[in-house]
Amino acid sequence: MPSHEQTTVVLGHLTGRSPAWGLTWWGEERRYRTSAHPYRRPETGDHIVELRCPACDAELLLRVRSLALSRLIRKRFLIAAAIGLVLVAVTVAIGLGSEYAGTPIPLPSPLGTSLLVAFLAGAAAAGIGLYGWRNESALRLYTETVKGDEHHRLLSGAEPHDASAP
Ligand SMILES: [Zn+2]
């Protein structure tokens, strides 16, 4: 199927919640009134599609990214995460190595401080990169001002996340 073909997204409007529990978990059951909305996926870049919720007449914005753009963004997040992890590994190795060699690097020294900064930056890059990689989705629901709202949800239409092809 060509990626720019028209497909459908299912929008859910929250109609009620009730507590739910099982033997080993408890949580909340949410019920949605669903409506299907056709949209077109761009071949490149992204665009915004307007959806109207039939349950409450709210106008919602759906951002649709092309698969190519979505893949590119995921790849960048993954590269950032990889660089961050390497930085963490290298700083830890230098730190441990100097400990074992009997000449620990004192933290207040310029070298110690830059190692610490590099370690923290690496950890942050790894965290942000992995988070971004996991959460990048070609479809995202927006209202006019905020990202999504608590009454509406995309119930289907997003691609399954394929971890083997970033
Ligand atoms: Zn609604």
In a domain, 80, yes or no: yes
Same domain, 77 and 36: no
User: Would 113 be classed as within a structural domain?
Assistant: yes
- Do 96 and 115 have their domain in common? yes
Same domain assignment for residues 115 and 34: no
What are 97's two structure tokens? Answer: 């190595």
Residues 11 and 24 placed together within one structural domain of the fold: yes
Distance CA 49, CA 47 (A): 7
Q: Please check whether residue 12 lies inside any domain of the structure.
A: yes
Neighbours of ion ligand 1 (CB under 5 A): 13, 53, 55-56, 58
What are the pLDDT digits (tens) for 122-161? 999 999 999 999 988 888 888 665 555 778 988 876 554 4
Q: Do 95 and 116 sit in the same domain of this protein?
A: yes
82 phi, psi to nearest 5 deg: -65, -45
Residues 127 and 75 placed together within one structural domain of the fold: yes
- Token pair for 46: 């992204």
Evaluate whether residue 39 is within a structural domain.
yes
Question: CB-based contacts of 47: which residues, under 8 Å, 6+ apart?
Answer: 63, 64
* 142 in the same domain as 126: no
Count of domains forming the chain: 2
Distance 67 CA to ligand 1 centre (A): 27
Instruction: Provide the 8-state DSSP code for 55.
Output: T
Q: How far is CA 140 from CA 17, 43, 126, 156, 165, in A?
A: 23, 17, 23, 11, 20
Share of the chain above pLDDT 70, in %: 87
Q: Does any domain span residue 123?
A: yes
pLDDT tens-digit readout, 56-91: 998 899 999 998 999 999 999 999 999 999 999 999
Q: Which residue segment(s) compose the domain that 50 sits in?
A: 6-66+138-156
Q: Whole-model pTM?
A: 0.69
Centroid of ligand 1 to alpha carbon of 63 (angstroms): 17
